[in-house]
Structure 1
Amino acid sequence: AGYDAEDGYSRRPAMLGVKRRGYRIAIPDVCEFYGDTVAQEAWERSLAQIAALPGVTLARIPFAAFSDAAQLLYQGPWVAERRAALGDFFLENPQAIDPVVHQITAQSDNYDAVDAFNAQYRLADLRREAEDLLEGSDLMLVPTTTTFPTIAEVQADPVVRNSQLGYYTNFVNLMDMAALAIPGVWRRDGLPAGVTLIGPAGSDHLLA
Structure 2
Amino acid sequence: MTPAVPAPPMAPMPPAVHVTPTIRSAASASAAANASTGRSGPDRWTRITPSMSPKTRPVRSAASSPVSAPPASTADRLRAAGAVLRPVDLTPFTRAAAMLYEGAFVAERYTAVGAFVDGGSPDLDPTVAAVIGAARDIPAHQLFADLDRLAALRTAAVAALGDADALLLPTAPGHPSLADVAADPPGANARLGRFTNSTNLFGLCAVAVPAGEVAGLPFGVMLVGPTGTDERLPRIADLLTPPAHLAVVGAHLTGEPLNLQLLAVGARLVRTTTTAAAYRLHALATTPPKPGLVRADTGGAAVETEIWELPAEGLGVLAAALPHPMALGRVDLADGTAATGFLCEPYAVHGATDITEHGGWRAYRAAASAAGGSHRPRHHPTEL
Please report the TM-score for the alignment, with normalisation by the length of structure 1: 0.83
- 1:95-136 superposed Cα distances (whole Å, 9 cap, x missing partner): 331111011112213421100000000000011111111111
For the pair 1:122 / 2:157, whether they are aligned, the reply is: no
For the pair 1:17 / 2:51, whether they are aligned, the reply is: yes
Larger strand share, 1 or 2 = 2
Matches within 5 A, 1:1-208: 14=48, 16-18=50-52, 19-20=54-55, 21-28=57-64, 30-33=65-68, 40=69, 43-189=70-216, 191-208=217-234
Question: Contact conserved, 1:69 with 1:123, CA < 8 A, in 2?
Answer: yes
Question: Contact conserved, 2:110 with 2:133, CA < 8 A, in 1?
Answer: yes
- 1:34-59 superposed Cα distances (whole Å, 9 cap, x missing partner): xxxxxx5xx23333423432311001
Question: Contact conserved, 2:206 with 2:225, CA < 8 A, in 1?
Answer: yes
User: Aligned AA for 1:119?
Assistant: D
- 1:16-43 superposed Cα distances (whole Å, 9 cap, x missing partner): 3223241100112x3133xxxxxx5xx2
The corresponding residue for 1:8 is none
User: Aligned AA for 2:168?
Assistant: L
Structure 2, unmatched stretches of 5+, are 1-46, 235-384
Inter-partner Cα distance in structure 2 for 1:69 and 1:110: 21
The corresponding residue for 2:17 is none
Question: Contact conserved, 1:185 with 1:194, CA < 8 A, in 2?
Answer: yes
- 1:142-180 superposed Cα distances (whole Å, 9 cap, x missing partner): 011100011121011010000111111011110101010
User: Aligned AA for 2:95?
Assistant: D
- Between 1 and 2, higher relative CO (CA 8 Å, sep ≥ 6) is seen in 1
1:63 Cα offset (Å): 0.5
User: Aligned AA for 2:67?
Assistant: E
Question: RMSD value over aligned CA atoms?
Answer: 1.7
Change (3 A) 1:46 1:16: farther
What's the secondary structure of 1:81's corresponding residue? Answer: helix
Inter-partner Cα distance in structure 1 for 2:91 and 2:130: 27
Query: Bigger CA drift: 192-201 or 87-96?
Result: 87-96
User: Aligned AA for 2:231?
Assistant: H
Aligned residue pairs total 186
The corresponding residue for 2:304 is none
Question: Contact conserved, 1:14 with 1:202, CA < 8 A, in 2?
Answer: yes
Inter-partner Cα distance in structure 2 for 1:107 and 1:197: 33
Inter-partner Cα distance in structure 2 for 1:15 and 1:31: 29
Change (3 A) 1:109 1:87: closer
Question: Contact conserved, 2:114 with 2:133, CA < 8 A, in 1?
Answer: no
Query: Bigger CA drift: 49-58 or 117-126?
Result: 49-58
- Determine what percentage of the aligned residue pairs are the same residue: 33
Larger helix share, 1 or 2 = 1
Bigger radius of gyration among the two? 2
